[in-house]
Structure 1
């Protein structure tokens, strides 16, 4: 199977990416679960557009091999119909592996068992946006309503936040593009005409980065991660929109208002809430939270401290119990 990944809720629209096939298959009820890889949002973005649960665990939670061009950004994660399905897959897939030096030890408690435990009081930080990004009004309304329901129904204290973070886009672009140059540049430099145009452009751009640029990006990554981690001294979880936009036309390369923008990673302009947590390595989930006026899925992103994957899953399971999203099926599901 190949071609443009179309949204099961409206085939004229995009499913997001890059793990689009996984999200499409789960949303359309072709499979109960699928695995994806998330280097800048690639399980959460299609999860949001297709109305599926998707969790990028803490960096190293699920071991991976072979080595990735964006090893320090790329996280494996499942896309599922329910939180419990995802927790089960994390139980199966997590644990140390000698082939992945970033792999974390197996947790002491089952992720699935944690979902069955009563939710203890939590301090929630709600970020309506990050970096002054304009959020679509329908997305904002759905997210606000979901957070309000959470505040009323669960043992949580919700505070609205505007984190004092600088957008780490330049850091992300350097790591993303230079990483591909390190991995593929020499092997593919003479074969650019045989590559997908977008990937060929990444290889060309990678030659523009020096060793100093790359090392500086590593320092910036650590500094931004420390800023994010400091916020979790005061909050147990962060909530925000997964994306600031609704699904756009499947044949367009970018949403209206974002097309033609300069930059080494153009799609990062419309995913400002996902890639920051690839830089930091925090667990981050897309939780379906509502639908647009046209019936398109909208996602709420749940971000936890590093290593708190079980807490993210437990919270998401509690939200799913008070606001189940699986009653509505996309028209292409045949059900």
Structure 2
């Protein structure tokens, strides 16, 4: 399965047809999806019809855009006009939007083909791959284990070579968690970089973006999908450079801070070793300055818990008050807990968020990048919400306790990527998180492109990609 840039170039050069690529994806989905649970609805006939049209247009010298004829998986949280969007919930199985989300409209405008909707946890509420709609997402490296979530199907489909690329969303780590567990690249950009719509009750945390096999694929997609949209009041202005072009420039002498952990969180020894070895290679072989630094930040878990539970619980609780028995019990618990949050609690959490964000931004007055483990834990059983050593509890945000390195940068709005940096002794990929100052996604992508060249991972294939 080619990556995005390779597929687009092959189609444009006449070396591969869009029909043959779509057919390959459909065959791989047919073979592997019963095990992996990556896809829900697959639009086989529509995708082949679009691919035939793309091939006719290509033969006539007409090109829809840079992604002409390339098939994609779409997280089933994004609105797709005329196509069912279940949001991973039994309460939304008949939901068919009238309009495309901005990211979908731009992907189609660039010439891409929507192949199918990828699995997500219910309304994207948790970081596991637990799903009663799609079946629990399975890790392509070990199918007894979780892929992570909530962009579970998108990460699985890219890692297992079911599609060249996929779209996901990230409100607390939802592209980086499965990206790290599945061994692919995923960047959560600065808040508002890719516009989001419809409105989310956790809009101050929610980001949209791609999951890809290579850094350059991600840079290309951010070039194509970024920019303002009148429906998103947080959307950022057009950026003034190509991030794909940045990936090919010589690496500046970035000042890189390396943190072994945050908030005194214990890190799995195998993950710690892989990250430490990666940082040593970075210091020795890349033209950057690496300093060890342990931020003395206090965990903003309470603030995140209030914003996440309050926003999602109140919004969905109001809309689904007569269908609570059809919800994932954990999500129903979150809705119940939201009733304990009052306006004073919510405003206090916003104030705490601002104070924490200020601390993060102050760090980037001194350094250009922060590198650290993406996650402190290895993948656990696919039928669980949490690792076995952590009780599932009843707060509704247990997932945030085992992902303490991802959601803080949703609170602060900083760009944060996960990139494969090694493997555990059991052969599971380990993710290195690379965080940049606000609006400096170009720095993150350029550094990650250099790291990808230093420590390539494309030759490492999970069993389900073979």
TM-score, normalising length: structure 1? 0.98
Q: Which has the larger radius of gyration?
A: 2
Q: Is the 8 A contact 1:44 1:285 kept in 2?
A: yes
- Determine if the alignment matches structure 1 residue 211 to structure 2 residue 331: no
Q: Which residues in structure 2 correspond to 1:71-220 (within 5 Å)?
A: 71-220=203-352
CA deviation after TM superposition for structure 1 residue 184, in Å: 2.1
Residue by residue over 1:136-178, the C-alpha shift from the partner in whole angstroms, topping out at 9 and shown as x without a partner, is 1100000000011011111111111111101000000000010
- Determine if the alignment matches structure 1 residue 272 to structure 2 residue 404: yes
Aligned to 1:329: 461
Residue by residue over 1:187-223, the C-alpha shift from the partner in whole angstroms, topping out at 9 and shown as x without a partner, is 2223211222122111111111001100111111111
Residue by residue over 1:270-327, the C-alpha shift from the partner in whole angstroms, topping out at 9 and shown as x without a partner, is 1010010010000000010000101100000000000001110000001001110111
SS in 1 for 2:370: strand
- Residue 291 of structure 1: which of 412, 416, 423 is its match? 423
Distance 1:265 1:181 in 2: 11
Q: Is the 8 A contact 2:337 2:396 kept in 1?
A: yes
Q: Which runs of 5+ in 1 are unaligned?
A: none
SS in 2 for 1:55: strand
Q: Is the 8 A contact 1:241 1:300 kept in 2?
A: yes
CA deviation after TM superposition for structure 1 residue 181, in Å: 3.0
Aligned to 2:57: none
CA deviation after TM superposition for structure 1 residue 256, in Å: 2.3
Q: Is the 8 A contact 1:36 1:76 kept in 2?
A: yes
**Worse-matched range after superposition: 221-230 or 244-253:** 244-253
Distance 2:291 2:215 in 1: 25
Distance 2:260 2:217 in 1: 28
Distance 1:68 1:13 in 2: 30
Q: Is the 8 A contact 2:259 2:294 kept in 1?
A: yes
CA deviation after TM superposition for structure 1 residue 82, in Å: 0.1
SS in 2 for 1:287: strand
SS in 1 for 2:354: helix
Distance 2:369 2:335 in 1: 37
- Determine if the alignment matches structure 1 residue 222 to structure 2 residue 350: no
Residue by residue over 1:58-103, the C-alpha shift from the partner in whole angstroms, topping out at 9 and shown as x without a partner, is 0000111101121101111211000000000000100011000110
- Residue 183 of structure 2: which of 41, 51, 57 is its match? 51
Aligned to 2:135: 3
CA deviation after TM superposition for structure 1 residue 253, in Å: 2.4
Displaced runs of 4 or more, over 6 A: none
How many correspondences in the alignment? 334
Residue by residue over 1:230-259, the C-alpha shift from the partner in whole angstroms, topping out at 9 and shown as x without a partner, is 001111000000000111111222112112
SS in 2 for 1:318: helix
Distance 2:341 2:317 in 1: 12
Higher relative contact order (CA 8 A, sep 6+): 1
Q: Which runs of 5+ in 2 are unaligned?
A: 1-39, 41-133
Distance 1:187 1:256 in 2: 33
- Determine if the alignment matches structure 1 residue 29 to structure 2 residue 161: yes
CA deviation after TM superposition for structure 1 residue 261, in Å: 4.4
- Residue 375 of structure 2: which of 237, 243, 255 is its match? 243
Distance 1:187 1:261 in 2: 25
Distance 2:370 2:336 in 1: 37
Distance 2:393 2:290 in 1: 36
Distance 1:54 1:212 in 2: 35
TM-score, normalising length: structure 2? 0.71
Q: Is the 8 A contact 1:72 1:279 kept in 2?
A: yes
Q: Is the 8 A contact 1:189 1:203 kept in 2?
A: no
- Residue 384 of structure 2: which of 245, 252, 255 is its match? 252
Provide closer, same or farther for how the CA distance between residues 181 and 252 of structure 1 changes in structure 2, counting only shifts above 3 A: closer
Distance 2:392 2:159 in 1: 30
